């Protein structure tokens, strides 16, 4: 290699190393997530039976700049959707001519704690249901309205709005009774290697959390902040969108959003994050 080429290569390598070191130093390990005077638990004891000793929110693996976006609702880009969800809550829809508020009243009271328990078993439908499932069930059964698509602006806005009502409350899903079968299926999926890269969820988020992969700081893959505003997406996205993205990354054929597979996986991963506060809408890279 010519002398100039070697010098350029050295400068590039040095610059890359410095950039990586700077990126790794951005996250403030001592920082606390406080929103509107409420302290959000970003660390919690892992539930009995978990392979983790401590649950750590994805917020702690982000840069200081990204962390800061979540600490102020005015700066949080996901709050545009929350405001839209508040409008949808009051809007009459379907053949009933009723809004969500017509039956449920003030969401800050009637929906408080809902996000912490999702997904959960529904006796009437005889299946495990995500928050998205519950919203569409209510629209169809009680409002006589068409269901929303999983990743539609309306669905993301409503899940974000409902999630905010539980912000600061600990995740606490039920995995016993009829939900146990779904939990076990979700656990199986979590540890199953898939795709051309032959990787399972656990290979990144259990075996290597805290390490760098390319320019990303691997988290434990906790989902307590969904729907989440990702800078990469330039918008909100659901938990199942993130699942699909991971499967795409390992060159596997992803399951569909709302599928039994992703619903079971959501239950298992939610349980892994027990005790962490709901952060909706979280901000991530």
- Catalytic residue numbers read 246
Token pair belonging to 248: 């795409």
Distances (CA, A) of 280 to 15, 37, 49, 250, 263: 36, 16, 26, 27, 19
**What is the Cα 134 distance to its own chain's centre?**
17
Residue with tokens 């996986």: 265
Beta bridge partners of 284: 230
Angle at 50 between CA 48 and CA 53, to 5 degrees: 90
Q: How many helices (H) and strands (E) in the chain?
A: 11, 11
């Amino acid at each position: 290699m010519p002398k100039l080429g070697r010098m350029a290569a050295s400068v590039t390598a040095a610059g890359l190393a410095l950039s990586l070191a700077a990126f790794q130093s951005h996250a403030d390990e001592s920082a606390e997530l406080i929103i509107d005077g409420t302290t959000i638990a970003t660390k919690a004891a892992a539930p009995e039976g978990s392979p983790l000793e401590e649950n750590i929110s994805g917020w702690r693996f982000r840069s200081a700049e990204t962390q800061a976006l979540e600490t102020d609702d005015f700066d949080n880009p996901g709050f545009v959707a929350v405001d839209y969800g508040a409008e949808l809550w009051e809007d009459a829809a379907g053949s009933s001519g009723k809004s969500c508020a017509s039956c449920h009243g003030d969401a800050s009271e009637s929906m408080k704690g809902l996000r912490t328990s999702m997904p959960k078993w529904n006796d009437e439908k005889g299946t495990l249901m995500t928050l998205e499932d519950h919203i569409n069930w209510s629209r169809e059964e009680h409002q006589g309205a068409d269901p929303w698509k999983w990743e539609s602006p309306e669905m993301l806005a409503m899940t974000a709005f409902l999630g905010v009502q539980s912000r600061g409350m600990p995740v606490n899903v039920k995995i016993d009774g009829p939900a146990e079968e779904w939990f076990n299926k979700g656990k199986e999926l979590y540890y199953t290697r898939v795709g051309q890269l032959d990787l399972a969820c656990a290979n990144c988020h259990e075996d290597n959390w805290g390490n760098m992969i390319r320019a990303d700081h691997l988290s434990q893959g906790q989902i307590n902040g969904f729907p989440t505003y990702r800078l990469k997406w330039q918008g909100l996205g659901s938990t199942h969108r993130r699942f699909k993205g991971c499967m795409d990354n390992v060159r596997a054929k992803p399951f569909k959003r709302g599928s039994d597979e992703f619903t079971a996986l959501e239950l298992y991963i939610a349980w892994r994050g027990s005790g962490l506060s709901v952060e909706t809408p979280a901000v991530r890279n």
